[in-house]
Structure 1
Amino acid sequence: MSQSWKPLPDDLSEPARRLAEELRAVKDAHGISLAELGKRTYLSKASWERWLNGKRLITSQALAGLIAAVDCDAVLLTSLLRQAEAARGATEPAAAPPVPGPAAGPAAEPAAAATVPVPVPVAVPIPVPLPVPVPVPVPAATAGVPGWRRPPALAAVAAVAVLLVLAGLYLHGLKADTSAAAASAAGPTAPAGARPVALPAQLCQGVGCAGRDPQAMGCETDDRTLVTGTIGRVVLYVHYSARCRAAWAGITDGSPGDTATITTSTGSQETALIHWGYDNYSMMVEAASADTVLRVCGHQPEGDGCTRAVTSLVASASATSTP
């Protein structure tokens, strides 16, 4: 499925133009939207829009994420990116040497990898209770005889019986663990004749979404941008999901090291940090109450600044649309 693309900028170098055209062809060949492309590569759809329309040259990390996510000609795309970078380096003036600064704090994190591993739950074996030893009955005729001992043969039979019981329980527990793991991997099943049970529309809501990724939780499906603000060229966003009853910060047109922090009236905070590229978003904060106040503040070389406060979630969400 192809789409009608905008003309590429006239000032693109020939390698950069070919690279943008090849990236468009990969997207069209797989018939995926910008949002789906962003989810597969763990990047925002805004970044992919700029790369596919020639507004920015795609980064090597983003290209590596694309190659890992979809079937494409990795050799051709990598070669075109190197040629485009070389052409850009030949036309740009030499950059001034960086000025040494203080040691990076906790916010200065290393460049993120092209793909972020998603933790997979591991089936935990169910502990199997050990059997209580069953005493071997003592014959009534000999129970009271001083110095009586159980015959060696009877003791051996009792020991073998206990070992057989232990082995059976162990194998039963192992089989149960294996079956549980297989059932978990295959997904939920229903007994024969039972009516299908509808799964919940969202994976989290309210306080259950706090500190979690809005894309991974599916909260981006009804995302509303309640308010925006700017610091120089950098744009800050307050995102809100009525279905998940949670909010998060967004930042675009920034540079590595720029941040955007969302704060609630209860003091909860989450920060979006641009590791590399031009944009990012934060984890979510709870916004279950209609009177929750939200604000996003950013810190960039151009200075610090904040969006206006969102004081009525219901009214703001109904008056906005998905960007």
Structure 2
Amino acid sequence: MSQHWKPLPDDLSEPARRLVEELRAVKDAHRISLAELGRLTYLSKASWERWLNGKRLITSQALAGLIAALDCDAVLLTSLLRQAEAARDAESAPGAVTAVAAATAVEPTAAAAPAADPVPVPLPVPVSLPVARVALWRRPQALVTVAAVAVLLLVAGLYLHGLNGGGSAAASSSGRSPAPPAVSTGALPAQLCQSVGCAGKDPQAMGCEADDHTVLTGTIGKVVLYLHYSPRCRAAWAGITDGSPGDSATVSTGTGGQETALIHWGYDNYSMMVDADAPGTILQVCGHQKDGDNCTLPLSGPAARAQALSTTAPGLTPTATPSS
């Protein structure tokens, strides 16, 4: 179902413009409406209208949903999103305009050179899981953590591989059930924590986003709330998109654990993790913004929910609605 598209805003960066054009091409190629696209990705029609008309840059979570639901060039789309995010950050950085002006003054002949078409850079991630989640620049403290973790990842993989070989026995002796079988997604980076050991830690830095499942969503007006769960890490965290500075989403376990995703600037963020493996855990995400408060439905057994989502065709699993 192709359509006559509106002209894109003039102030879009080149990678953002190319990304929107590619997203429009994917929608047209599959001949689906905005409403159908929303159902397939568990996101609102209004959100897709904003992304496909260049009003907002698509979020990494939304792009992940699109790639999981439809046949498309995952590497190209992910690369363009990262380039568009970098261009947006450069434009908003203090002194960016001054730096560009200075560069032009030093090399006046550069403007006369023909501009080469931007070439997408392949990403060193599996095609089945190609999308970076919420950008790390939204959490400056995460940059320091990732820098340290990068060194450890070279040895942590082999070490944790040995630990996982005896994971079932350790889980039985501790009273916890072993982790459910993971869906094959190619080589995954090693997770650096599990269950209670993940509480209060960053899911990106700990490698837990590699098998992230969005097990519940909810809304407050245009704001979208997410409950994320990692079967390998047996931990959960909250996400929030299409919000404004001051909006927040809090994930709670029902046993005292909770973490909050607060939007400091921009329109999205994610929280640190909570232990989702403790007996009696009931996960829920509640959001707060100027238009009011709302929560997702409570969820027990996130591992079973994640497994069901992994084995059900996109679009056939009903989306959880927020509680009143």
Report the structure, 1 or 2, having the larger helix content: 2
**How high is the TM-score relative to the length of structure 2?**
0.48
Task: Please tell me whether Structure 1 or Structure 2 has the larger radius of gyration of its CA atoms.
Answer: 1
